[in-house]
Amino acid sequence: MGDIISKTPEDRNAACWQPGAEKSPLTAHDLGWQLVGGLSGGAINIGYEAVDRHVNEGHGEQTAMIWLTREGRRESFSYGDLSVLSSRFANILCDLGLKKGARVFMALGRRPELYAAALGTLKAGMVLTPLFAAFGPEPLRTRMEIGKAEVLVTTKSLYTRKIAPILKDLPTLKHILVVGDDAPDGCLALGPELRDASAEFEAVRTGPEDPALIHFTSGTTGRPKGAVHVHEAVLFHALSGRYALELQPGFTYWCTADPGWVTGTSYGIISPLVNRVTMIVDEAEFDLKRWYGIVEREKVQVWYSAPTAIRMMMRAGTDVAAPYDFSSLQFLASVGEPLNPEAVVWSRDVFGRPFHDNWWQTETGGIMIANLRGMDVKPGSMGVPLPGITAGIVETGNDGLRELPDGEVGELALRPGWPSMMRAYLNEQTRYDKCFAGGWYLSGDLAMRDTDGYFWFVGRADDLIKSSGHLIGPFEVESALIEHYAVAEAAVIGVPDETAGEIVKAFVTLNPGVEPNDDLERDIRGHARKRLGAAVAPREIAFCTTLPKTRSGKIMRRLLKARELGLPEGDTSTLEENGA
């Protein structure tokens, strides 16, 4: 189960969580309200909390965002700048005759217009959906169709390549705004619109339950679902940023996720701004030396990334990291996939601090379980529920649902009612209703809680392998595989077998300079057998150059399985290589 990484005395002093401490009597709502302002009469607006509030409280001059362009330019935006830009955008929407609740989609890269438009949409009380600019026309079309998009903010080039061909299928889409000074026929140029629009806009007095965001899930297990979130979610964005990411006013913070994935919106826009940090926005894609350079140059204090990126860092080796100064880093966190224990230990060695794993979903809107500052990190564990969150391990049997004792594997479940929880799956009431039973929200993930109250991820319910009477979680096997010197990434699936029911098959990518061959295959299998025992270790290993991943960087095991069994691949709209 991995060694415990001991906290430093400094961490201990800053502890905000103690094992065995009394559960906070405050709800997530209470705790969130301590961190936001709200509008009079109980109204609350995410866009207002993110920018206008800070300006009203005298922090308009503080840097809100540092934008790093692909070409190496660096531009700063103060809270005042973002407030004005988002007000102008909100005025554009209102001048177009759009009303509260209108659906505004974004398909553009990480550039200032995206952030201004996102915040302006929220301030205008309209509903925001950011999509990955790298999506191909089909994933863009299906999401805009399901979400009944009325407005799209995009670029000229994306419009020409991806939107124009699908326009005829999108009858609800009335307005297309393109970044820059000239626009194709039928579109509005955002440049002059922003210059002409008034800089004065009073945030719409949205109620706590008014819809604010629709976010599509990553599509790892099947067709993506559109999760609807409301304005009071900001209470939890504020709280979780403070507790799970250690965000403090004035900190330099970098979330590497794109807003097309919920992480890039909840923790790449809303939470950092509500907590009044200075956030880094990098327009470019993953590039290791660039990333290390950004952490060093910008003196990033809190860094939020994902296991796929961390595994790429490990794959490149410590030599690449050695020349950089990471002493500014105070807190590192990771989300999206299980964080292998190996990666936690590696990052502590290289950055001086471990990546703190945390767990949540598009549906939960915010971080639910995390390795909080002040607690010992057990590499491989997702941590503990945030203050105000109740998590349990449950099993659904013939006589209903029961909570399992510590140490047993079951479905990870949460007591509903935290502010950023989804309020619906768009147009999918039955699928939504199925998420709830016996007073719990059911996550679809399998996990175990140890006697210290730490949660351990086992695998998605869909990915569980049943072999000769054993239940095998892919995460455990994958983590053992990547401990082998040659293995960079691993994904395991169950393949039907007459005697065992299923056998474990692993797909692995190798570290640079390692050549695949039969001896290596045997050696990796031998290593896995030693670590896991013969019943759990993979019987077969296939070497690959890449593993199929979603746009948010998650390994798609279901696709490996479908390909292995010659079955239809199902929804592949989020597959990385499907972009243009």
Give the binding site for ligand ATP (CB under 6 A). 217-222, 224, 262, 335-339, 357-359, 361-362, 382, 443-445, 457, 460, 552, 554
337 binds, among Mg ion, ligand ATP, none (CB under 5 to 8 A by kind): ligand ATP
For residue 122, the minimal CB distance to ligand ATP (Å) is: 21
- Tell me how many degrees the CA angle 433-435-440 measures, rounded to the nearest 5: 110
The smaller minimum CB distance to ligand ATP, of residues 60 and 410, is found at 410
Rg (CA), the chain: 23
The size of the interface with Mg ion (CB under 5 A), counted in residues, is: 1
What phi, psi does 128 have (nearest 5°)? -100, 135
The smaller minimum CB distance to ligand ATP, of residues 17 and 456, is found at 456
Q: From residue 147 to residue 166, what is the string marking binding to Mg ion with x (rule CB under 5 A)?
A: --------------------
335 binds, among ligand ATP, Mg ion, none (CB under 5 to 8 A by kind): ligand ATP
For residue 446, the minimal CB distance to ligand ATP (Å) is: 9
The smaller minimum CB distance to Mg ion, of residues 422 and 486, is found at 422
Whole-angstrom distance, CA of residue 54 vs CA of residue 48: 9
Closest CA to 535 of 498, 495, 502: 502
The smaller minimum CB distance to ligand ATP, of residues 374 and 444, is found at 444
Whole-angstrom distance, CA of residue 217 vs CA of residue 3: 33
The conformation of residue 549, written as its DSSP 8-state character, comes to B
| Angle between helices 518-532 and 474-482 in degrees, nearest 10 | 120
Q: Strand 381-385 relative to strand 391-397: parallel, antiparallel, unpaired?
A: unpaired
What phi, psi does 232 have (nearest 5°)? -70, -5
The smaller minimum CB distance to ligand ATP, of residues 141 and 356, is found at 356
The smaller minimum CB distance to ligand ATP, of residues 125 and 494, is found at 494
The smaller minimum CB distance to Mg ion, of residues 240 and 364, is found at 364
- Tokens coding 418: 């935290």
- Tell me how many degrees the CA angle 34-40-42 measures, rounded to the nearest 5: 65
| Three-class SS state of 78 | strand
For residue 443, the minimal CB distance to ligand ATP (Å) is: 6
Closest CA to 125 of 198, 210, 189, 49: 210
The smaller minimum CB distance to Mg ion, of residues 218 and 509, is found at 218
For residue 393, the minimal CB distance to Mg ion (Å) is: 18
Whole-angstrom distance, CA of residue 544 vs CA of residue 64: 42
Q: From residue 125 to residue 144, what is the string marking binding to Mg ion with x (rule CB under 5 A)?
A: --------------------
159 binds, among Mg ion, ligand ATP, none (CB under 5 to 8 A by kind): none
The smaller minimum CB distance to ligand ATP, of residues 86 and 221, is found at 221
For residue 471, the minimal CB distance to ligand ATP (Å) is: 17
For residue 463, the minimal CB distance to ligand ATP (Å) is: 9
For residue 338, the minimal CB distance to ligand ATP (Å) is: 4
For residue 363, the minimal CB distance to Mg ion (Å) is: 7
Using CB atoms within 10 Å of the CB of residue 259, give its burial: 0 to 12 exposed, 13 to 18 middle, 19+ buried. buried
The smaller minimum CB distance to Mg ion, of residues 251 and 360, is found at 360
For residue 88, the minimal CB distance to Mg ion (Å) is: 36
- Tokens coding 258: 């794109």
For residue 241, the minimal CB distance to ligand ATP (Å) is: 16
The smaller minimum CB distance to Mg ion, of residues 206 and 218, is found at 218
Element (H, E) at 121: helix 112-123
Using CB under 5 A as the binding rule, the residues of this chain from 39 to 98 that contact Mg ion are: none
Closest CA to 118 of 235, 259, 281, 216: 259
Q: Which residues pair with 380 in a beta bridge?
A: none
Per-residue DSSP letters for 49-72? IIIIHHHHTT-TTSEEEEEE-TTS
Whole-angstrom distance, CA of residue 222 vs CA of residue 570: 7
For residue 266, the minimal CB distance to ligand ATP (Å) is: 11
443 binds, among Mg ion, ligand ATP, none (CB under 5 to 8 A by kind): ligand ATP
For residue 551, the minimal CB distance to Mg ion (Å) is: 14
Closest CA to 103 of 225, 211, 207, 231: 211
Using CB under 5 A as the binding rule, the residues of this chain from 279 to 298 that contact Mg ion are: none
Using CB under 5 A as the binding rule, the residues of this chain from 204 to 233 that contact Mg ion are: 217
The smaller minimum CB distance to ligand ATP, of residues 60 and 219, is found at 219
- Tell me how many degrees the CA angle 311-315-320 measures, rounded to the nearest 5: 115
The smaller minimum CB distance to ligand ATP, of residues 51 and 382, is found at 382
For residue 39, the minimal CB distance to ligand ATP (Å) is: 30
Place of tokens 């925001």: 128
467 binds, among Mg ion, ligand ATP, none (CB under 5 to 8 A by kind): none
246 binds, among Mg ion, ligand ATP, none (CB under 5 to 8 A by kind): none
292 binds, among ligand ATP, Mg ion, none (CB under 5 to 8 A by kind): none
Provide CB contacts within 8 A for 96, sequence distance 6+. Answer: 151, 174, 175
If DSSP states are collapsed to H, E and C, what string results for 369-430? Answer: EECCCCCCECCCEEEEECCCCCEEEEEEECCEEEECCCCCCEEEEECCCCCCCCCEECCCHH
Which positions lie near Mg ion, rule CB under 5 A? 217
